[in-house]
Copies of this chain bind each other. A is one copy, B any other.
């Protein structure tokens, strides 16, 4: 395994070990290299760079996937990631709400509903997250 893979897996341990494990399992019979590229490129190359802290990285990713509008599993996975690195539910909701201005209300609303599902799974409460 490459250094980039190891670096990516280290990041993923902090950010979202469960999502990556699920991804790896879902891809192992069909496109195992794709899981490897996620670890190597997304986490080993990009998330491992020092120019941004982990919380900012997850919030801008949430903004991007909310704007895509059609990738709810990945949005939920990164909402988990954001909570794992210390973002509050309030911050996450706030980023998604702001997307109403740039990506339109429908995508922002569907983003909020994805966040709601994640918070319920984790029993996170808005206004109660410290």
Contacts and interface: CB of A to CB of B under 8 A. Distances in A.
A68 B104 contact: yes
A42 interface: yes
A3 to B, nearest CB: 9
A89 to B, nearest CB: 8
Contact of A38 (B63, B65, B96, B105): B105
Interface string A1-44: 00000000000000000000001001101110110011001100
Interface of A: 23, 26-27, 29-31, 33-34, 37-38, 41-42, 45-47, 49, 51-52, 56-57, 59-71, 73-74, 90-91, 93-110, 112-113, 115-116, 119, 126
